[in-house]
A = this chain, B = another copy of it.
């Protein structure tokens, strides 16, 4: 059995109320008593019972993180980022990754229903009406990562996909001198994917490059879909000079196909990606890509969340964009 404020109270000849106040560093405590309480607490190695505190305060120092099916690297880095900030603020991180048994929506309902979390971070690149409704109906402070930003009664943090794709495309045009730039898109409903596509289109337009629909291919952010897309592009009469894949996994799929076609990167065709996952560092040639500071996103989201958990009455919702950077490899 671990020790409680009651025992401290006995040792100190005080009431539990005073002990509680001293421990929580409230104002109305005589410095001497506070010191006494703290020293006894230290001696006894007292640790507060968070469960009890949460019960009476009707909140929780646990942050629920809801993650969809995502690749390992993104998953672990984002949690690391969240955990680091949460820890320094005295919070815990509980994860619910969706899997065969559970969807994103169920995770959220579960968290709220069990009143087990005091705040939520939801990573939802494909936020839908169901999720939107659930979130709208809750009183648990929530931050959404990568959702559409037009949810304006909630804080959001997202990657600046548009800018990243724009920069990459402009780099291909202005620095590398490419004019025939193909793009393999991500899933249709994926916000990241569509913003990247828009950035690509905008950069082409701003640089007066004609848009060729046959060079724009639908993909699924998987290596396989990258392979398929690449195969389509390489079988065209009018081939592109470079392929801008919507993410690195698809770019690596392109690598495979290009090699299978007996062509060389970057001499015969260039390939660039988006995300800067670890795999792309090991690809040969090293992939040119857009770096996304994943851990940073997690940290930022957590900072915003903690602020909101402490002061509920702020109606000024933030919509932060995390900027990206180009990683120049040898693949174009």
Residues of A near any B CB (own CB < 8 A): 2, 47-52, 54-55, 60, 62, 71-73, 75-77, 79-80, 83-84, 87-88, 92-97, 99-102, 113-116, 252, 259, 278-279, 282-284
Contacts and interface: CB of A to CB of B under 8 A. Distances in A.
B83 A72 contact: no
B51 A116 contact: yes
A99 B84 contact: yes
Given A84-B101, A88-B101, A114 B50 contact: yes
A141 to B, nearest CB: 16
Contact of A73 (B2, B73, B99, B113): B73
B2 A115 contact: yes
Number of copies of this chain that the complex holds: 2
Nearest to A102: B87
Contact of A76 (B55, B72, B259): B72
A122 to B, nearest CB: 16
A115 B84 contact: no
Given A72-B72, A76-B76, A279-B282, A52 B50 contact: no
Given A62-B94, A72-B76, 10 more contacts: A51-B51, A51-B55, A51-B116, A62-B116, A72-B72, A72-B73, A83-B99, A87-B101, A92-B96, A259-B284
A73 B74 CA distance: 9
* Nearest 9 A/B pairs, CB to CB: A47-B113, A75-B76, A72-B76, A72-B73, A50-B114, A94-B94, A72-B72, A51-B55, A76-B76
Contacts of A73: 72-73, 76
A118 to B, nearest CB: 10
A51 B47 contact: no
A80 B75 CA distance: 10
A92 B115 CA distance: 12
5 contacts: A47-B113, A49-B55, A49-B114, A72-B72, A87-B102
A49 B94 CA distance: 17
